[in-house]
Amino acid sequence: MPKKEKPNTREVRIIDREKMNALINQLAERILEKNQDLSEVTLVGIRSRGTHLARRIAEKIFEKCGNRVPVGILDITLYRDDLRSRIDQPMLVRTEIPGPIEDRNIILVDDVLFTGRTIRAAMDGIMDMGRARMIQLAVLVDRGFRELPIRANYTGEYVPIKSDQTIRVRFAEDGEEDGVILREVP
């Protein structure tokens, strides 16, 4: 559901539809390069935009080599470190990961990498479900400013931005035009 924007927010589309498609394509290629045995790989999208991205990457991988990589959905709400300081209880979405986690090569997928706290929560969530052989991370945009020692294995684009700016990735799946938007909050 698109949120209401403040009227005086300045928005710039820094990555358009074509470029975003190319970046997703690139992510798929690099994942294929680094993971010889695709039968061990599960893509796990962190809901909700990470799930869109994971499905897109899986589609690209299928186009390239004809293999269907399973895609899971992970809701990290229960693992958030700010859960109790939020005013609203966030609505839970069911976590659905196809097959057992045991000995799988899990590639976490999210749209934006920022503080790293979401990824920390996601790793805890995955580990509670079983012992994966490996956990990797793929993101479309890395906006910098990490608060935890976390780095992505596959990054679409590095976009260092200032603290009064935010980044938002839009997906056609949510009824918006594909693209990455840079927002300045005056």
Partner 1 sequence: MAWGKRKDLLGIEDLSREEIETILDTAESFKDVSRRQIKKVPALRGVTVVNLFLEPSTRTRTSFELAGKRLSADVINISASGSSIIKGESLKDTACNIEAMNTDILVFRHSKAGAAHFLSKVLKCSVVNAGDGAHEHPTQALLDLYSIREKTKRIEGLTVAIIGDIAHSRVARSNILALRKMGAHVRVAGPATMIPAGVEKLGVDVTYKIEEAVEGADVVMMLRIQQERQGKNLFPSIREYSRFFGLNRARLKGAKKDILIMHPGPINRGVEIAPDVADGPYSIILDQVTNGVAVRMAILFLYSGAAL
CB of 184 to partner 1, least distance (A): 27
Nearer to partner 1, 4 or 84 (CB): 84
Report if residue 89 touches partner 1, rule: CB under 8 A. yes
CB of 118 to partner 1, least distance (A): 15
109-148 positions binding partner 1, by CB under 8 A = 124-125, 128-130
Report if residue 171 touches partner 1, rule: CB under 8 A. no
Distance CA 109, CA 49 (A): 9
CB of 80 to partner 1, least distance (A): 8
Distance CA 184, CA 181 (A): 10
Whose tokens are 């975003």? That residue is: 20
Site residues, partner 1 (CB under 8 A): 75, 77-79, 83-89, 91-95, 124-125, 128-130
